[in-house]
Amino acid sequence: MNNQYCKKCMLKSNHPGIRYDNDGVCSICRGHNEKDMSSNYNYILNDYMEYNAVPPRKDGNYDCILMLSGGKDSINMLKKIVTEQGKKPLAYTYIHPFESENAEKNIDKVLNAMDIDHVYFTSYKKYKKLMNRVFTSKTRKDKYQAEKAPCIACSYYMMLSACIFALRMNIPYVMYCADPNQMLGSDSDITKIVDYLENIVGMELLLEIFGEPLSELLNKNRAKPKIIFPYVAMFGKYDGDTIITELKAEGLYETSPIETGCSLYALVNYYSYLKYDCAHFALENASAVRKGIWPREMAIEVEKKFKDAILIIASKTEINERDKEYLASVCHMVNPDSKPKAQYMFNLILSLREVANKLEIDLNSLTANYDAE
Ligand SMILES: [Zn+2]
């Protein structure tokens, strides 16, 4: 059964890591994929409980590094650590070349309102080298979330950078605060994170990028920082909308016009269509259908048009007015309630080639190459 849509949600039958039963229903709708993730979840929960049980340090050193992205989740957790837990975090912001401007504005608000130490970190050329390799490397076809490899690799890269910093500063925990819905299936175990990246880009490149500190981080005899995913651990209690309302009331947060402000948006979608014939957010879209937020038929229709638009923009060096009109109509379909969101998405998709050039990726030579697995 190929290229059918799940009868309950709208995931395609060829979606990576998803199985279909004889009734045409996907393994997520049947609740099977959650079980695959439970060992992951137990590991994450154990580390989170350990972190909570440790009292604030008395030696004046930081209790944890908090990865401050400027999104609602990291800002909210920073506030919690200081006011509820009485701990001393070091806020750490990794700036990558495709960051949204909104995130920086939010970080300024937080730094003005709270008395916390904060460092910015960037490694522009290394980051680009890694991401170039991720986009152009062979990937495994059958793995759950394989279509999200660029995003996962990017977040793992930032986590490892923070862990190396924590190791040097003798800080025992690194907090990574993304929305649990986006983090399901991600690893917080440093060894597994390195394995994941090694599988895609190879150890040689990882050592070139991180150097000796990576070997120290992997040294079994050395105590290493632990990565904590607090919102994944608190999965059932997570409520993104309430977090936004509270932070806005305190003047700590402004919503961006679009959920993801990352300018790799169009490129990650092109990657997922090319390699896996699905949208980057196909799992999230299917989940919205399952919850009744999106009517199934409409989601399928929008998905088809969105795919066309991405492939048209990717295939042309000159975008003509007709293509732009089509793209605008698709962005409007995806964001029927918000013109600014539609416009923002339009601009992100139109800049696909420019963004690919920044990563020195030739769109014409990107192919759907998989590892023989
Ligand atoms: Zn389904």
pLDDT 10s digits, 165-223: 999 999 999 999 988 877 777 889 999 999 999 999 999 999 999 999 999 999 989 89
Q: How far is the CA of 30 from the centre of ligand 1 (A)?
A: 7
pLDDT at 2 exceeding the cut of 60: no
327 within some domain: yes
Which residues form the domain of 312?
269-365
Q: How far is the CA of 276 from the centre of ligand 1 (A)?
A: 17
Q: What is the mean predicted confidence (pLDDT) over 128-135?
A: 96
260 within some domain: no
Kindly state whether residues 92 and 154 are assigned to the same domain. yes
| Confidence at 369, pLDDT banded by 50, 70, 90 | low
Tens digit of pLDDT for each residue in 241-262? 899 899 989 988 887 655 557 8
Burial of 362 (0-12, 13-18, 19+ CB in 10 A): exposed
215 within some domain: yes
Q: Give 74-81 contacts, CB < 8 A, sequence gap 24+.
A: 74/175, 74/177, 75/106, 75/110, 75/247, 75/252, 75/253, 76/177, 76/243, 76/246, 76/247, 77/175, 77/177, 77/230, 77/231, 78/110, 78/114, 78/116, 79/114, 79/247, 79/252, 81/175
| Confidence at 372, pLDDT banded by 50, 70, 90 | very low
**Whole-model pTM?**
0.92
Kindly state whether residues 111 and 193 are assigned to the same domain. yes
Q: How far is the CA of 24 from the centre of ligand 1 (A)?
A: 8
CA–CA separation, 160 vs 149, rounded Å? 16
Q: How far is the CA of 289 from the centre of ligand 1 (A)?
A: 9
Kindly state whether residues 275 and 228 are assigned to the same domain. no
287 within some domain: yes
pLDDT at 266 exceeding the cut of 80: yes
pLDDT at 33 exceeding the cut of 50: yes
Kindly state whether residues 158 and 286 are assigned to the same domain. no
Instruction: Answer for the pair 232, 44: CB distance below 8 angstroms, yes or no.
Output: yes
Q: How far is the CA of 189 from the centre of ligand 1 (A)?
A: 29
Q: How far is the CA of 145 from the centre of ligand 1 (A)?
A: 15
343 within some domain: yes
| Confidence at 142, pLDDT banded by 50, 70, 90 | confident
Instruction: Identify the DSSP state of 142.
Output: S
Kindly state whether residues 89 and 199 are assigned to the same domain. yes
| Confidence at 373, pLDDT banded by 50, 70, 90 | very low
Kindly state whether residues 70 and 101 are assigned to the same domain. yes
pLDDT at residue 52 in the model: 96
Q: What is the mean predicted confidence (pLDDT) over 254-273?
A: 81
pLDDT at residue 235 in the model: 76
The secondary structure of 92-130 as a DSSP string is EEE--TT--HHHHHHHHHHHHHS--EEEEE--HHHHHHH
Angle between helices 296-315 and 339-350 in degrees, nearest 10: 40
CA–CA separation, 281 vs 147, rounded Å? 9
Q: How far is the CA of 140 from the centre of ligand 1 (A)?
A: 22
Q: What is the CATH number of the domain that holds 79?
A: 3.40.50.620
Q: How far is the CA of 370 from the centre of ligand 1 (A)?
A: 25
Kindly state whether residues 99 and 239 are assigned to the same domain. yes
E strand map for the chain: 64-67, 89-94, 117-121, 173-175, 226-228
346 within some domain: yes
The total number of structural domains that make up the chain = 3
